[in-house]
Chains A and B, each alone.
Chain A
Amino acid sequence: MHEYLLIGIVGILAIGGGLGVVFLANPINNVMSLLLTMLALAGLYAAMGAHVAALFQVIIYVGAILVLFIFAVMLLNLREAAGRIFTGPQTPGIGGAALALAIAMGTLLWGSLRKSPVPDEGLSLLERAGVHRLAIDLFTDHLLVFELTAVLLLVASIGAIIISRK
């Protein structure tokens, strides 16, 4: 029961932040709404026992990516450019299409979970994948992916420097 309450409250916070990202006019408010969503998701990860992912969510997403967004918004002075926030008259159609997408994904998930159900125990009862198991998995089975990600980050940072240089 407490778990439902926790997930409900944090989920409402997350979805409220998502609504803020889409519907608020000022870009700095959009970034702050995304901050709310990310902190709420970090709370959900911690509640599910993925403490390392929650920590990285706060450190990488909030501490690096959102700060970069705030730098860009402040640097570009986007406040005056926020006269018209939505593109043309097709906006309601896109909203309907997104609703249809949500229903389709929900139906697909529901159907596949009916067919091969996942053992649905309480959140607090299961043993958790700690940092020890994660590290062993990451540096044995997924070592190639890890190295390729490092190369990707290097290429992206060099590319960002080259693109933004005049």
Chain B
Amino acid sequence: MELYLLLGIGILLFCLGVVGFLVRTNAVVLLLSVELMLNAANLVFIVFSRYLHGTDGQIYVFIVMAIAAAEVAVGLAVMISIFRLYGLLDISKIRLLRG
């Protein structure tokens, strides 16, 4: 039954990430919510690699971590660029992405 408990934690974390991504105005917190969703997916990968006796889940977790690092690097660069342009990071006020 631990399987169900762990999967429940993963589902709750993913939905928290979805809520954070949709309701927050701060663009950096949006990136944090994406990280939360990626972490929930990682948890589910590890749980199933554990219970199915495989290694593929853990390998996908490493790939997801590398992709998260790339996403954060590009995302924060975009955020810094937007902040330099507008002086704020409120996504309900930013209308243009043109430099």
Task: Give the complex CA separation of A152 and B54 in angstroms.
Answer: 26
How big is chain B's contact interface, by range?
Answer: 35 or more
What residues of chain A lie closer than 8 Å to B48, measured between beta carbons? 118
Beyond A34-B36, A41-B42, whether A87 also contacts B92 by CB under 8 A is yes
The total of Cβ contacts below 8 Å across the A-B interface reads 232
Would B36 and A18 count as touching, CB distance under 8 A? yes
Q: Which of B19, B52, B55 is within 8 Å of A137, CB to CB?
A: B55
Task: Give the complex CA separation of A38 and B38 in angstroms.
Answer: 11
Would A37 and B2 count as touching, CB distance under 8 A? no
Within 8 A of B (CB), among A33-89: 34, 37-38, 41, 44-45, 48-50, 52-53, 56-57, 60-61, 64-65, 68-69, 72-73, 75-76, 78, 81-82, 84-88
Task: Give the complex CA separation of A38 and B46 in angstroms.
Answer: 14
Would A85 and B31 count as touching, CB distance under 8 A? no
Beyond A14-B13, A138-B62, whether A94 also contacts B46 by CB under 8 A is no
How big is chain A's contact interface, by range?
Answer: 35 or more
Within 8 A of B (CB), among A94-134: 94-95, 98-99, 101-102, 105-106, 109-110, 113, 118-120, 122-123, 126-127, 129, 133-134
Q: Which of A34, A87, A152 is within 8 Å of B25, CB to CB?
A: A87
B16 to chain A, nearest CB (A): 4
Beyond A50-B46, A53-B46, whether A105 also contacts B11 by CB under 8 A is yes
A residues with a Cβ closer than 8 A to B are 3-4, 7-8, 11, 14-15, 18-19, 21-22, 27, 30-31, 34, 37-38, 41, 44-45, 48-50, 52-53, 56-57, 60-61, 64-65, 68-69, 72-73, 75-76, 78, 81-82, 84-88, 91, 94-95, 98-99, 101-102, 105-106, 109-110, 113, 118-120, 122-123, 126-127, 129, 133-134, 137-138, 142, 145-146, 149, 152-153, 155-157, 159-161, 163-164, 166
The 7 A-B residue pairs with the shortest CB-CB distance, nearest first, are A156-B70, A18-B16, A22-B20, A160-B77, A164-B77, A163-B77, A160-B73
List 26 A-B residue pairs with CB atoms under 8 Å apart, sorted by A's residue number.
A3-B2, A21-B33, A22-B19, A44-B9, A50-B49, A65-B35, A68-B76, A72-B76, A72-B79, A76-B28, A76-B89, A81-B26, A84-B25, A94-B23, A95-B23, A105-B14, A118-B48, A118-B52, A120-B1, A126-B53, A129-B54, A133-B55, A156-B73, A156-B74, A163-B81, A166-B84
